[in-house]
Amino acid sequence: MKFRSRENLAMHVSRVSIFWNVLLSSFKFFAGLFSHSGAMISDAVHSASDVFSTLVVMIGVKAGGKAADQEHPYGHERMECVAALLLSVVLFATGLGIGISGLFKIISPSGHLDVPGFLALAAAAISIAVKETMYWYTRGAARKIQSGALMADAWHHRSDALSSVGSFAGILGARLGFPILDPIASVAICLFIVKAAVSIFLDSVNKMVDRSCTEDAVQIISDTALEQRHVLGIDEIHTRLFGDRVYVDLEIRVDGSLPLRDAHAAAEAVHNAVENRYPQVKHCMVHVNPGEPED
């Protein structure tokens, strides 16, 4: 299947995610309910929260894909970062709720803990397979279109897969005669989810505060500029992340005796080479400084 735009691919992946999350969370909820497994019910709630998170991703990608306008001359790409920040908050709250629920069961004064049924164990195994597949599917799309919001959603799938691993271990332990392992698994799930939430939050914040690209990326951009005709050197280079896109400011040095037309052509060549070779670069601004031929 071919997609004409970055937005179309993101929307398709998101619709697929919603379909499987609704199906899986419903199955896990009823499996946990009928099998008396708190860990599986917690896992189902986590999967259900994925539906909301994917809707946030769809809204963020849609808003981030809007063209620049008078009020937003640099575009709307940071809306994807806002979506990712919202996802991190949802993830954190979900994980915290699951952990508190598990702790209450562990310290319950009644001391009575149900032994989960086999259906809950089967549901955990199915969830691990489905959610891990969804993680790799969504991650591949996120890397292809350089979408932080979609990558956050991919990690939401991975955290769900990890929580299902915890559910499986807890349910299996409970069925082997250690029912305390089921709520302990819920607490372990909480830690996985909270860690993923913090990682997504920090990544989104970094993309919203004009952080520079990595040294390797800056070096590659410099090398590309130096390959162009008449470019004698790079006097200065600045990069900044704008959502999932990159802005580049370059000062190149050319022979000061060159006609203005040729100096402009050199700057245009650098501009086009950087933007064409690296699609993540939204705009490359080039300033020309005069230099000596021997430079």
Averaged pLDDT for residues 215-237: 88
224 in the same domain as 164:
no
> pLDDT per residue over 17-52, tens digit each?
889 888 888 888 888 888 777 667 777 776 777 777
Number of structural domains (the chain) is 2
What CATH number does residue 265 fall under? Answer: 3.30.70.1350
Q: Which of 208, 231, 262 is the last residue of a domain?
A: 208
Averaged pLDDT of the chain: 78
pLDDT confidence bin for 269, thresholds 50/70/90: very high
Domain range enclosing 67: 6-208
235 in the same domain as 189:
no
pLDDT for res 270? 92
> pLDDT per residue over 108-147, tens digit each?
644 445 566 778 788 888 988 998 999 999 988 888 877 7
More confident residue, 214 or 138: 138
203 in the same domain as 103:
yes
131 in the same domain as 101:
yes
Q: Which of 182, 208, 234 is the last residue of a domain?
A: 208
Q: pTM (2 decimals)?
A: 0.58
DSSP structure string for the chain: ---SSHHHHHHHHHHHHHHHHHHHHHHHHHHHHHHT-HHHHHHHHHHHHHHHHHHHHHHHHHHHTSPP-SS-TT-STHHHHHHHHHHHHHHHHHHHHHHHHHHHHHT-TT---PPPPHHHHHHHHHHHHHHHHHHHHHHHHHHHHT-HHHHHHHHHHHHHHHHHHHHHHHHHHHHTT-TTHHHHHHHHHHHHHHHHHHHHHHHHHHHHTTPPPPHHHHHHHHHHHHTSTT--EEEEEEEEEETTEEEEEEEEEEETTS-HHHHHHHHHHHHHHHHHH-TTEEEEEEEEEEE-TT-
Residue 124 resides in a domain: yes
219 in the same domain as 201:
no
Residue 147 resides in a domain: yes
Tokens of 230: 């008449």
Residue 1 resides in a domain: no
Question: Pairing between strand 281-291 and 245-255?
Answer: parallel
263 in the same domain as 140:
no
> pLDDT per residue over 157-178, tens digit each?
887 787 777 778 777 877 777 7
